[in-house]
Amino acid sequence: MASHAGIHIIKVNSRRPDIGQIKVRHILKLTQGADSSGIASRRAAIDSIARLLAAGADFASIAKAETDDPSGRAKGGALPWFGAGMMVPQFEAAAFSLAPGEMSAVVETPYGFHIILCDDRRPSLPDDEIASQVDAAMEADGRTDMARRRFMDRFIASHPDLADASPDRLAAAATELLPSLSPDFRNLISEYRDGMLLYEISNRMVWAAPPTTPPASTISLKPTATDILLTLLNSKAILFKPLPTRWLPPHTNGSRPGPTPFSPPTMAGR
């Protein structure tokens, strides 16, 4: 499959039921970088906090005073809504085992010791909302920058005179030369140009002309504008592919519809 980061081959290793999303508070005693005595000290501290909470102490107040999580200290230990795969496995498993209002025992993760309080649970977001979040996460992912850097490396290699150019100059040059670098982009521009040409010809020569039939005595044997357009359309003078409906000729005073994409205009009503 293709994404803005590149081309991917995906293998599904396993599936699991949707567990929804959860909102929790936690109190953390950080052990990263601590030696054995430091870890033991933090374990004693979290056990003491667990006894206070079991005795009825307010979780948010204790979190503000005791947690080693800087963002949680300002918010009473509160974390944003999260779903599967967004936390380390030990934390995720403990959090999703709780019902709203339940508190965990002490949980050990690579970060340290936690006590988790479940505030609320809800089903996963609709697919369209999840898609926008996934797009944002992919845009922030380093692989997107890797694809961009690879493109710019190839571009600079083929244009060594731009090796010392500023980022703005590089971007402008790449945009200017993109049709020559990318066949797909070149074809898209060609289709757009041909579509606009067809629109202009049909607008000037057919749809802008008054739909009146001259008396039989004044009918000329010279080719009409419609005949000329049909001849052009059936020849190799204009090459085009089906295009979006936004390039269709407009209606004339509401009396004559434009063609379907992209059948030639009929001869009726000349």
CATH 3.10.50.40 maps onto the chain at 21-122
Long-range contacts of 140-145 (CB under 8 A, 24+ apart): 141/5, 143/5, 143/6, 144/4, 144/5
Report the top-level CATH class of 21-122: alpha beta
Residues of the chain with pLDDT below 50 are: 216-226, 228-270
Structure tokens at 19: 């567990």
List pLDDT tens digits, range 210-222.
555 555 444 444 4
